[in-house]
Amino acid sequence: MIYLSSENIFFPDVSFARHDGLLAVGGDLSTERLLEAYRNGIFPWYDDNQPILWWSPDPRMVMFPKKLKVSKSLRKIINSKQFEVTFNESFSEVIRHCAAVKRKDQGGTWITDDMIEAYQTLHDMGVAKSVEVWSQGNLVGGLYGIDLADERIFCGESMFSLESNASKVALYHLVQKLLGKEYRLIDCQMYTPHLQSLGAEEMPRNEFISILKGS
């Protein structure tokens, strides 16, 4: 494991990551460092009681947009138009909802105040994007992530749902937009059964890096 200086924007090769995916510790959440991280298959994940931790797991959880699994019940909800969906209209609200949602087996949130500030800056630059799901004028679901437009990869960070299926509706509409722009994949980072049920799959890290680098 490598300790990063806050002065230099540097990351070791992802092959140096531990077996659990932890690559480096320290540094900062500057715009330059975050962009360097995502463009090299690395992301921050830590909580308030830890230093900044940088990860690059192997295998990598990804979703090919064409492989999104849409159940009959979800299709019915989408066709009913019971939700209104917008893009990039309430990024701040989405990330704060993602930070507040309680998750199984997690005592707190990894979306710290410093993370929120850093990703808001990326949003203001047009790099961090959000999808919002509304019901009767209320925000009930959504997701956010980093849009690597040149690489045609969307790095999903987090999603939330205050009404049943709202986050799935957000993902569905994100996928439709990405398909229209011929994006290659969505980076889901780490395995969860929920992501797998939606069509995500694990991929060797070297294959993910190869796609990320356009090889």
Domain boundaries, the chain: 2-60, 61-202
Domain 2-60 has CATH 3.30.70.3550: yes
What is the token pair recorded at 151? Answer: 């690489």
Instruction: Give 116-140 pLDDT, tens digit per residue.
Output: 999 999 999 999 999 999 999 999 9
In order of 4, 46, 103, the CA distances from 142 in angstroms are: 33, 22, 15
Using one digit for the tens of pLDDT, what is the confidence trace for 160-194?
999 999 999 999 999 999 999 999 999 999 999 99
197 near 69, Cβ under 8 Å? Answer: yes
61-202 in CATH: which number? 3.40.630.70
